[in-house]
Amino acid sequence: MIKSLVLPCKALKFPLEKFEGRKQLRCKGTKMELTLTQPDDWHLHLRDGDLLEGVVSHSASHFGRAIVMPNLKPPVTTTAAAVAYRESILKVLPVNSNFTPLMTLYLTDKTSPEEIKRARRSDVVFAVKLYPAGATTNSQDGVTDLFGKCLPVLEEMAEQNMPLLVHGEVTDTNVDIFDREKVFIETILKPLVQRLPQLKVVMEHITTMDAVRFVESCKEGSVAATVTPQHLLLNRNSLFQGGLQPHNYCLPVLKREIHRDAIVAAVTGGSKRFFLGTDSAPHERRRKECACGCAGIYNAPVALSLYAKVFEDAGALDKLEAFTSFNGPDFYGLPRNTSKIKMTRTPWKVPESFSFSFGNIIPMFAGETLEWQPSVM
């Protein structure tokens, strides 16, 4: 019974009998445990080389599958390159890991409809990523004119039922960095959806109430969005409190509290249009703490703990599993995982850093204590 839990009253803001997943929620001594279908990460950066080998286990230990971003140097622009990248990931997975990388192509002005057909036939490539040129890390080879140079490719993607994953920001330097997502929706995304309503679109790592409203206005099953831990838990004050905080710098940049509130409400409200995408983006410490630091937050080791915190704080633990484990595969038309994970409400301290032969990586919430800890069953 709830009374037997050593747990703050606010942790469960609804009667247990109303908890839709109550068969998955149980007490073990003084600990609360929650059993979930194993989640997937629908937006992940694994990098390559030593960095890939160092970080992949943090994702593979918790997630069943992940949509792997293609913004390497050089970018993954062909099916052959995606197949080769997938093999390099599989080679460095931990022993007995069942983690499955789902590959993506990097859309350029020169991508051809024939490449989309090859990608669909490969059973390796599951989506194509749109980076507006210059929008984020390694995006210099991205698209310069979506409608002028990529329309035949987009039409073929719609024909092949290949989703378009969108980094939703304009790169016009005359547009304020905090407004770039809103302007992208108005000038690019709305016209795209109107022109090609049959194209499946994922608006990645949304950061604004404008994005929430746009996704909710579209036909369910045609447009969806991934949501990161950082955009659920942090606002733009987190960049500057106590001095400049480079490990809270990501793109799209953190926004005002009103936007964070809107995203939390959308995600914890049970909508099928939103699903887990960490945007975990590892950089060596010296590349973050420098005169021109890289954008990206490394959250893979803590992501599930942080998502659980968000849903618990909102009194919506009953909706956590759909967000982490159901909405993503349902949108992509893939089967849900059959394996399970256990979330235990027991405090644990996030490491200050992770050390590798090439340097250190600072995780999100480094040195802080989190309340939920995941483990594979």
* Residues involved in catalysis: 43, 45, 129, 167, 205, 279
Residue 166 φ/ψ, nearest 5 degrees? -115, 125
Identify which of 140, 123, 122 has the alpha carbon closest to the alpha carbon of residue 131: 140
Chain centre to alpha carbon of residue 237: 22
Specify the length of the chain in residues: 377
Peptide bond between residue 74 and the one before it cis (omega within 30 degrees of 0)? yes
Q: Are 188 and 170 in contact (CB under 8 A)?
A: yes
Chain centre to alpha carbon of residue 318: 21
Residues 112 and 78: their CA atoms lie apart, in Å, by: 10
* Tokens coding 64: 């069943």
Identify which of 222, 203, 230 has the alpha carbon closest to the alpha carbon of residue 309: 230
Q: Are 58 and 301 in contact (CB under 8 A)?
A: yes
Residue 226 φ/ψ, nearest 5 degrees? -95, 155
Residues 256 and 253: their CA atoms lie apart, in Å, by: 10
The interaxial angle of helices 49-60 and 79-91, nearest 10 deg, is 70
Burial grade of 287 (CB within 10 A; 0-12, 13-18, 19 or more): middle
Q: State the pairing for strand pair 65-68/201-203.
A: unpaired
Chain centre to alpha carbon of residue 291: 27
Residue 346 φ/ψ, nearest 5 degrees? -145, 130
Sorted by sequence, the CB contacts under 8 Å of residue 305 that are 6+ apart come out as 348, 370, 371, 372, 373, 374
The H or E element that residue 362 is part of is none
- Bridge partner residues of 227 (DSSP): 276
